[in-house]
Amino acid sequence: MTSPIPPTPKPTLILADEPTVQLPRDASLLAQAEAVASQCRQDQGAEAAQWSRQGLTYFRQGHYGQALAALQQALYAYRNLGDQPREARVLQLLGSLHYRLADYLWAADYGRQYLKVAQSLGHSQSVQQALEHLGNSYRHLGDLKRALDYMSQSLNLAKLIGDRHGEMRSLNNLAMVYRAKGLTRQAATLYEASLRLAAALEETTIRLQILQNLGNTYLALRDFKGAIACYETFLHLSQAGTVGAIDNHTLRRTLTYLTRASLAMGDYDRAIVHLQHHLSVACTLGDTPAATLLIDEIKQCYAALGEIRMTSLGLE
């Protein structure tokens, strides 16, 4: 009987050592990698800066759709780069853009993002501006509780860091919140404080805005003397040549309010002066129907003056 043939053993495979990859001792590859990464970041930064510049240019030109697209690209790029200071600036612009478009929900959303980044950076002035922006946005949204909270924080922070311009703006904006809440007397007090700061800082443009707001508030309070003082100062400053000329709509509205306040005080001489000014503007614009009505008002004022003088002379 034939004995079985033992199985042939399988050969043992011995893996030969492969030559070890040796890194250059001068770390040249690492230096090259760092250079590539640095160049990449520079390219991304340059691209982000270009988007940001384009967005700001479009914003200033009033091309808001293009500005929005460019600024969003810049925002994504700066976030990828971890560049928080520039991210904060773009968020501020996006919030301002949506505010300009009266899209207050998005304005508030970007305002909250801006506030978070500004707080992370510890930049107090940016925090104050973000709080101010949020206060204005929520006022327009009708959420007066939040508006009052954010604007109060904005005012307190401006005072704390000695930002007088921020304090001036916050006082004016806080007055708007109080006015919206129906707290007209408190609003007038805040406007007065803001106006004093604007005068001290020689901020003529903002002073003009506050004078209109305060004049309207005085008119609502039936403080006709205060309203006349505000509106006449507004006209004097706007015609002094230190700022651009006011538009005709604003001028005519102001003259109408001045006439109303003067008549309420029985000051027909003053009313005639402002009516004649208004008549001149209406004639220049070719507004014949308004000119006709103004002439009738002037006649009525002269008639009232005549009656007063007759009464004073005992000739009634």
Residue 278 lies in a domain: yes
Residue 273 lies in a domain: yes
Q: Which two tokens stand for residue 313?
A: 């002379």
What is the C-alpha to C-alpha distance for residues 254 and 267, in angstroms, rounded to an integer? 17
Q: Please, are residues 215 and 234 in contact by the beta-carbon 8 Å criterion? A: yes
Q: Average pLDDT, stretch 35-44?
A: 58
Q: 183 versus 313: which is more confidently predicted?
A: 183
Q: Please, are residues 183 and 199 in contact by the beta-carbon 8 Å criterion? A: no
* Percent residues over pLDDT 90 in the chain: 73
* Percent residues over pLDDT 70 in the chain: 83
Residue 286 lies in a domain: yes
pLDDT of residue 224: 97
What is the C-alpha to C-alpha distance for residues 78 and 90, in angstroms, rounded to an integer? 9
**Residue found by looking up tokens 């505010």 in the block:** 99
Q: Taking 70 as the threshold, does the pLDDT of residue 80 lie above it? A: yes
Q: Which two tokens stand for residue 275?
A: 């009516």
Q: For the chain, how many structural domains are there in total?
A: 1
CA dist list (Å): 46 to 50, 75, 77: 6, 13, 10
Residue 284 lies in a domain: yes
Whose CA is closest to 275, among 265, 218, 283? 283
The one-letter amino acid code at 80 reads: N
Q: 156 versus 3: which is more confidently predicted?
A: 156
Query: From the CB of residue 84, how many other CB atoms can be counted at a distance below 10 Å?
Result: 16
pLDDT band (50, 70, 90) for residue 167: very high
pLDDT of residue 309: 74
Instruction: For CA atoms 99, 117, 73, 76, give the dihedral sign.
Output: negative
Q: What is the pLDDT of residues 125-165, one digit of tens each?
A: 999 999 999 999 999 999 999 999 999 999 999 999 999 99
Q: Taking 90 as the threshold, does the pLDDT of residue 85 lie above it? A: yes
pLDDT band (50, 70, 90) for residue 26: low
Q: What is the pLDDT of residues 259-278, one digit of tens each?
A: 999 999 999 999 999 999 99
Q: What is the mean pLDDT of the chain?
A: 88
Q: Average pLDDT, stretch 91-120?
A: 96
The one-letter amino acid code at 128 reads: Q
pLDDT of residue 313: 57
The enclosing domain of 306 has a CATH number of 1.25.40.10
Residue 267 lies in a domain: yes
Q: Please, are residues 184 and 165 in contact by the beta-carbon 8 Å criterion? A: no
Q: 25 versus 238: which is more confidently predicted?
A: 238
Q: Average pLDDT, stretch 169-192?
A: 97
pLDDT band (50, 70, 90) for residue 316: low
What is the C-alpha to C-alpha distance for residues 174 and 136, in angstroms, rounded to an integer? 9
Residue 279 lies in a domain: yes
pLDDT of residue 43: 62
Q: Which two tokens stand for residue 255?
A: 């003259």
Listed in sequence order, the DSSP H helices in the chain are 28-61, 64-81, 84-100, 104-121, 124-141, 144-161, 164-180, 184-200, 204-220, 224-238, 248-264, 268-284, 288-312
Q: 12 versus 94: which is more confidently predicted?
A: 94
pLDDT of residue 171: 97
What is the C-alpha to C-alpha distance for residues 97 and 279, in angstroms, rounded to an integer? 38
Q: What is the pLDDT of residues 269-310, one digit of tens each?
A: 999 999 999 999 999 999 999 999 999 999 999 998 888 776
pLDDT band (50, 70, 90) for residue 47: confident
Q: Average pLDDT, stretch 80-102?
A: 94
Enumerate residues 6+ apart whose C-beta is below 8 A from 262: 224, 228, 268, 270, 271, 274
Residue 84 lies in a domain: no
Q: Taking 70 as the threshold, does the pLDDT of residue 32 lie above it? A: no
**Residue found by looking up tokens 């005080």 in the block:** 265
Cα(first)–Cα(last) distance of the chain, in Å? 163
What is the C-alpha to C-alpha distance for residues 176 and 91, in angstroms, rounded to an integer? 25
**Owning domain of residue 264:** 247-316
Residue 298 lies in a domain: yes
